[in-house]
Chain A
Amino acid sequence: MKELTHNLKDAAAVAFVAFLLFGPFLGLQLGDSPQGNLTLSPRPALLAIAVGLTFIARLLMLFWHDARGRAKPKLKVAAAMQKSGKFIAPALLVFAVLLPILPGIDNSYIDLGVLIMTYVMLGWGLNIVVGLAGLLDLGYVAFYAVGAYSFALLSENYGLSFWECLPICGLLAAAWGIFLGFPVLRLRGDYLAIVTLAFGEIIRLVITNWVALTGGPNGIDDIPHPTLFGLSFSMAGGPGTFAGFFNITPSPWQRDAYLYYIILFLALMTNWVTLRLRKQPLGRAWEALREDEIACRSLGINLRNTKLTAFAIGAMFGGFAGCFFSTREGFISPDSFTFIESATVLAIVVLGGAGSQLGIVLAAMVMIGVPELLQSLQIYRMLIFGIALVTIMVVRPRGFISTRRPTVSLGKPKIIAAELVAEGRG
């Protein structure tokens, strides 16, 4: 009984705070009078609903908290999760490979799959910088933009195809990674974060304002779609197209499935390179750098090269993804490369549990897939996105996959808690 009154009082206090917070925004509505002046109209019902919901939510949270406090923590669940984790990755892979030919999958789902895979790839690329080397990069979208614009400009001005441009885009992005990495070698923590953010903004602003080269805010359109050994996926059919060559009727499904397999291949390549590198001296140096920079330096690891390769390889995959993005969309503009993109990719990496490859896949599915399925909610979509981001972080601060398998170990590797993995100070 005492508990109940205490909880009720607490919830009432929270509801009062909510009343003050929501009052000006939900309780009042700015509008324009016919004379062009601002007017205010009250919305008491909306305010009452919001405050009431806050009261109920707080009360339920308190009861849940009390109940959980009495129950014993379930270690078995965690152990079972860990065991099943071994099967989740192969199952997901099989699902991903078969997705376009599964029954009941129409083009909108393949499109969604392409979108999610793009973010999985970006997440895996950024993971090299943030998760492995422990360098906080808030401007990853810059490399995505470099890749996208490289392909758009090369195809527009020199008529190069997607497959010719793909390596060039990766190289250019990697070069930018090194170029932008140099000035920040000495910076740590939040200084590094703000400078990478600033670089991301600089690149976006230059793209926006350099109208002669990039078309400015209008962007570049008519970017060619990728071809399969020279066969295009034109809906017209006929000779020189995929459908014409194989004597089948052309359908949008063929093009979408082809795009899907390209990004699946690129993403899996990112994953494979990351996993291989982690076993090699370079990857180990990254992880050592994240764990302890001073020890690293004392043991003769070249910090400059280690950091720069992390930036360059991370950027390279961002460039590949950007190249793919521009060929898929057929149109790019600076609006696609805002800070919110960097933040989304970083959120995917952290939400997945920085450093975990599988976690990033799960996080990308949640972060990208769920908002896309909520399209019908329109303007409330981003609101829900924000609430979800805060909630997930508060509930699972170490991300979805909060255990790690050490890269190197004496004897059989033991799974350790993510708390034991340093997060890097770079």
Chain B
Amino acid sequence: MAYALQQLVNGITLGMIYGLIAVGYTMVYGIIGMINFAHGDVFMVGAFIGIIVLTALAGVTSVPLGILVALILAAALCGLYGFSIERVAYRPLRGSFRLAPLISAIGMSILLENYVQTSQGALERAIPAAIPGGIVLMRQNGFIVQLSWMQMAIVVVTLVTLAIFTYIVTKTPLGRAMRAVEQDAKMAALLGIDTNRTISYTFIIGSALAAVAGVMFLLYYGVIDFYIGFNAGIKAFTAAVLGGIGSLPGAVLGGLLIGLIEAFWSGYATVAYKDVAVYSILAIVLMFMPTGLLGRNEIEKV
């Protein structure tokens, strides 16, 4: 029981990080219908900006302030990265062959990975735990269930970020424009929405969310390298598809599910096969629900 509770805590923390990245995938997919393979690497770039900012702020004594500055700077710079990536690699390909932006995105992903590797080295970079300690939830037969402050911080930051994001999408003119472009880009353009600008904003917001996830990942695990983006990106993409790609609540749900599957599989079965479990469950879910858990059925037009 205590063990299961600990896995639940760990799974939710991990799932929150996946969910944040998955939201970026699903937004981009919803609005321009492409898999943004470079998204996982934007997450990695965010984590690296986080570690650079935290190192630069090493003299600052207030830890929450340092983390806040790292989060804001990482989000802002990654937003700029997302914007530039879209302008350079995806916009010229809009409206052309469907596979062209996919390959361009894979190229972008390789480019970002190697850019960070060549500029900051291939070594793993580690930081000491920013917020050590936590509260003990339960003790049972000597097994201690701990909810660390860091895990709580991750959940709180994720929820706040998602709340801001939900507000933007549902309540602001920008969010309305985004939803309009998602439903019908041509009609939205006819009604005076600047679709190019809306798509740019989508990339900026999605990348900023990935950056927040990246900084959270850095603080949670304390170790990053240039390659973390690939695995996290694939997992988050899996989360987005599992939840139904294009659906924002689906992305968060998918992220949580994948985090939980991973945590429980590592806890009760073999750690080595945790990714196999995740991918197998994805395949099984899609066999019976071809558009994911919360995805809309595509209408076939003849």
Interface residues of A (CB under 8 A from B): 17, 20-21, 24-26, 28-30, 37-40, 130, 136, 183-184, 186-188, 190-191, 193-195, 197-199, 201-202, 205-206, 208-209, 294, 339-340, 343, 346-347, 350-351, 354, 379-380, 382-383, 385-390, 393-394, 397-398, 418, 423
Contacts and interface: CB of A to CB of B under 8 A. Distances in A.
17 contacts: A20-B77, A21-B77, A184-B286, A188-B290, A193-B35, A194-B35, A202-B275, A209-B270, A209-B272, A346-B103, A346-B106, A379-B118, A379-B122, A382-B114, A385-B110, A385-B114, A389-B107
A212 B120 CA distance: 38
Given A195-B282, A198-B279, A24 B107 contact: no
B135 interface: no
Interface stretch (B11-19, B92-100, B140-148, B187-195): B92-100
B245 A191 contact: yes
A387 B108 CA distance: 7
Interface of B: 29, 35, 48-49, 51-53, 55-56, 58, 77, 80-81, 84, 88-89, 92-93, 96-104, 106-122, 125-127, 230, 234, 237-238, 241, 245, 270, 272-273, 275-276, 279-280, 282-284, 286-287, 290-292, 298, 300, 302
Contacts of B111: 383, 386-387, 389-390
A57 to B, nearest CB: 11
A29 B120 contact: yes
Contact of B48 (A25, A183, A186, A389): A25
Given A194-B282, A202-B276, A386 B241 contact: no
Contact of B108 (A38, A380, A386): A386
Interface of A is mostly: helix
A202 B58 CA distance: 41
A295 B275 CA distance: 39
Given A30-B121, A188-B290, A191-B292, A393 B280 contact: no
A24 B80 CA distance: 13
Among A21, A184, A340, max chain B CB count under 10 A is at A21
Nearest to A46: B119
A202 B272 CA distance: 11
A313 B99 CA distance: 22
A183 B119 contact: no
A40 B100 contact: no
Nearest to B125: A30
A310 B292 CA distance: 25
A247 to B, nearest CB: 50
A195 B291 contact: no
Contacts of B286: 183-184, 187, 191, 195
- The 6 A-B residue pairs with the shortest CB-CB distance, nearest first, are A389-B107, A386-B111, A386-B110, A198-B279, A383-B114, A397-B100
Interface of B is mostly: helix
B290 A191 contact: yes
Given A382-B110, A393-B107, A187 B290 contact: yes
Given A40-B56, A393-B107, A398-B100, A183 B120 contact: no
B103 A393 contact: yes
Given A21-B77, A30-B55, A390 B290 contact: no
Nearest to A209: B272
Given A191-B241, A382-B114, A397 B96 contact: yes
A423 B77 contact: no
Nearest to B301: A294
Contacts of B241: 190-191, 194
Given A24-B77, A29-B120, A194-B282, A205 B107 contact: no
A417 to B, nearest CB: 12
A394 B237 CA distance: 24
A295 to B, nearest CB: 8
Contacts of B287: 183, 186
Contacts of A350: 97, 99-100, 102-103
Nearest to B107: A389
A397 B92 CA distance: 9
Contacts of B127: 38
Contact of B119 (A20, A26, A38): A26
A116 to B, nearest CB: 19
Contact of A17 (B84, B99, B112, B291): B84
Contact of B84 (A21, A37, A187, A340): A21
Nearest to A396: B100
B298 A188 contact: yes
A386 B114 contact: yes
B53 to A, nearest CB: 8
Given A386-B111, A389-B104, 4 more contacts: A30-B125, A40-B56, A136-B99, A209-B276
A35 B117 CA distance: 24
B31 to A, nearest CB: 14
Contacts of B118: 379-380, 383
A347 B287 CA distance: 27
Nearest to B95: A397
Contacts of A29: 119-120
Contacts of B125: 30, 38
Contacts of A26: 119
B107 A386 contact: yes
Nearest to A32: B123
Nearest to A203: B276
